Amino acid sequence: MKLTDNEKRDVIKYLEASKPLPDKYRFLLFADKQEVELVWNGKTSETTNVVLPFQIIEQVDEPRSEKEIRLQTSLFDLDVRGRQLKGWTNKLIWGDNKLILSSLKNGPLRQEIQEQGGIKLIYIDPPFDVGADFSMNIEVGEEEFTKKPGVLEELAYRDTWGKGADSFIAMIYERLSLMRDLLAEDGSIYVHCDYRVSGYLRLVLDELFGKELIKNEVVWYYQNGGGRSTTWFNRKHDIIFWYTKSKNYVYNGKAAGEKRNTDEGSFGGYFKTDENGRRYQEVRASGKIYKYYVDELKNADDVWDIPIISQRDLTERIGYPTQKPEVLLERIVKASSNEGDIVADFFVGSGTTLAVAEKLGRKWIGSDLGKFSIHTTRKRMIGVQRELAKAGKDFRAFEILNLGKYERQLFIGINPNLREEDKQKQIVQKEKDFIALILSAYKAESFDGFKTFHGKKNSRLVTIGPINLPVSRLFVDAVITEAVEKQITKVDVLAFEFEMGLFPKIQEEAKDKGVDLTLKYIPRDVFDKRAIEKNQVVFYDVSYIEAKPIVKKGMVSVELTDFSVFYNQDSIKEVEENIKAGGKKLVVENGQIIKISKDKNGIVEREILTKKWTDWIDYWAVDFNFESKKEIIRVKNEKTGEIEEVWTGDYVFENEWQDFRTKKKRELVLETPSVEVGKGKRKIAVKVVDIFGNDTMKIIEVTI
Q: Please name each of the domains of the chain with its CATH number.
A: 1-33 (no CATH), 54-258+297-403 (3.40.50.150), 408-498+505-541 (3.40.1350), 544-638+661-703 (no CATH)
Angle at 245 between CA 244 and CA 247, to 5 degrees: 75
Half-sphere CA count of 593, side-chain side, radius 13 A: 25
Question: Measuring CA to CA, which residue among 623, 612, 629 is closest to residue 668?
Answer: 612
Angle at 97 between CA 95 and CA 102, to 5 degrees: 115
The C-alpha atoms of residue 485 and residue 451 are separated, in whole angstroms, by 11
Residue-level pLDDT at 322: 85
Element (H, E) at 438: helix 420-442
Residue-level pLDDT at 318: 87
pLDDT tens for 448-472 read: 889 999 999 999 999 998 776 788 8
Is the Cβ–Cβ distance between 37 and 202 less than 8 Å?
no
411 has pLDDT over 50? no
**Which parts of 509-662 are beta strand (E)?**
516-521, 540-541, 544-552, 555-564, 584-589, 592-598, 604-608, 617-623, 630-636, 643-651, 653-655, 657-660
Query: What are 55's strand-pairing partners?
Result: 402
263 CB neighbour count, 10 Å cutoff? 8
Average pLDDT over residues 79-102: 83
Q: What are phi and psi of 250, to 5 degrees?
A: -85, 130
The C-alpha atoms of residue 113 and residue 118 are separated, in whole angstroms, by 5
In what side-by-side order are the strands of the sheet with 288-293?
A: 270-273, 279-285, 288-293
- CA 176 vs CA 126, 210, 332, 509: distances in Å: 11, 13, 18, 41
Residue-level pLDDT at 222: 92
Band of pLDDT at residue 65, cut at 50, 70 and 90: low
Average pLDDT over residues 85-104: 91
Residue-level pLDDT at 409: 44
List CB contacts of 8: < 8 A, sequence separation 6 or more.
none
Band of pLDDT at residue 550, cut at 50, 70 and 90: very high
Q: How does 102-134 read in b/e, with b if 16+ C-beta sit within 10 Å?
A: bbbbbbbbbeebeeeebbbbbbbbbbbeeeebb
Average pLDDT over residues 102-131: 90
The C-alpha atoms of residue 676 and residue 674 are separated, in whole angstroms, by 7
List CB contacts of 473: < 8 A, sequence separation 6 or more.
55, 404, 499, 502, 506, 650
Amino acid symbol at 592? Q
Element (H, E) at 92: strand 90-94
Band of pLDDT at residue 491, cut at 50, 70 and 90: very high
Q: How high does pLDDT run on average in the chain?
A: 85
User: How is 256-291 classified by DSSP, letter by letter?
Assistant: T-BPPP-STTGGG-EEEE-TTS-EEEEEEETTEEEE
Per-residue 3-state assignment (H helix, E strand, C coil) for 636-679: ECCCCCCEEEEEEEEECEEECEEEECCCCCCCCCCECCCEECCC
Residue-level pLDDT at 656: 92
Average pLDDT over residues 201-211: 95
**CA 418 remoteness from chain centre:** 30
More confident residue, 164 or 483: 483
Residue 668 burial (10 A CB sphere; 0-12, 13-18, 19+): middle
pLDDT tens for 338-381 read: 999 999 999 999 999 999 999 999 999 999 988 889 999 999 99
List CB contacts of 637: < 8 A, sequence separation 6 or more.
643, 644
Band of pLDDT at residue 90, cut at 50, 70 and 90: very high
Q: Where are the alpha helices (DSSP H) in 306-415?
A: 326-336, 352-359, 371-390, 408-412
Percentage of residues in the chain with pLDDT exceeding 90?
A: 41
Percentage of residues in the chain with pLDDT exceeding 70?
A: 87
pLDDT tens for 33-54 read: 566 778 887 788 888 888 888 8
Q: What are phi and psi of 657, to 5 degrees?
A: -150, 145
Sign, CA dihedral 521-524-529-530, equals negative
Question: Measuring CA to CA, which residue among 613, 592, 604 is closest to residue 668?
Answer: 613
The C-alpha atoms of residue 569 and residue 593 are separated, in whole angstroms, by 9
